[in-house]
Amino acid sequence: MHGSLMLDIAGTWLTAEDRQLLRQPQVGGLILFSRNIEDPRQVRELSAAIRAVRPDLLLAVDQEGGRVQRLRQGFVRLPAMRALADNPNAEMLAEQCGWIMATEVLAVGLDLSFAPVLDLDHQRSAVVGSRAFEGDAQRASLLAGAFIRGMNAAGMAACGKHFPGHGWAEADSHVAIPVDERSLEDIRATDLLPFRQLSRQLAAVMPAHVIYPQVDAGPAGFSRRWLQDILRGELGFGGVIFSDDLSMAGAHVVGDAASRI
């Protein structure tokens, strides 16, 4: 899937135009959003229709729990991950949530949920907030690791996001370009820890549409410094790097730079 595109479609079934687009060789995957989803049966039928056109496509969805849960009607409503942290059985619950989430996503014919969130809850970012497991890096790593074990037990690979950490920058990257002014040393000591500790358990990583000006001038998702030097080199990550949604404001500064990473 090197350099391939992950597309989305408009509705709950495939149009002739969708089928034509999915046949293009540069398309490697398709992500479903809420507008594409009615109930489990419809998603299964849509998945089957997509695979009839392209059996090799990677089919993905954002199914984290809490407010980021695209599959809702007819699916288990998972808690926000932050709600697990205060429970004495938090680690076991995180593993069970990972297993339930992955089992349900796989059962409707999809391959991957972009989960877990490895951002830290610094009580600053409205876009992260309760999607994070914890504010403490060690505890976030522990609980996210348990969630990944559950996903893996169900047969799903994990995608950690949003590298190197979206929990400090305050703007929402869907509408603005968030900036995190901290030094690389500060980020290494906190937000980078879950990615470092779990890098061997992650099949994929999704970078943040955040600019860390003390490290690089561009957003992390298009930065050789972040992706090649730090993620690949320093953390030894050998898996897939997914760009976050290129229609988001944070991606607009880069145009076609994605093809060069």
Catalytic positions, please?
174, 244
Residues in Cβ contact with 223 at an 8 Å cutoff, skipping those fewer than 6 apart: 207, 215, 216
- The angle at the Cα of 258, spanning 31 to 244, to the nearest 5 degrees, equals 35
Q: Is the Cβ–Cβ distance between 51 and 58 less than 8 Å?
A: no
Tell how strand 204-207 and strand 240-241 pair up.
Answer: parallel
259: phi then psi, degrees, rounded to nearest 5: -70, -15
Query: Are residues 162 and 210 in contact, defined by beta-carbon separation less than 8 angstroms?
Result: yes
Name the β-bridge partners of 113.
Answer: 61
Q: What one-character DSSP code corresponds to residue 240?
A: E
How far is it, in rounded angstroms, from Cα 176 to Cα 117?
Answer: 20
User: For helices 137-154 and 90-107, what crossing angle results, to 10°?
Assistant: 40
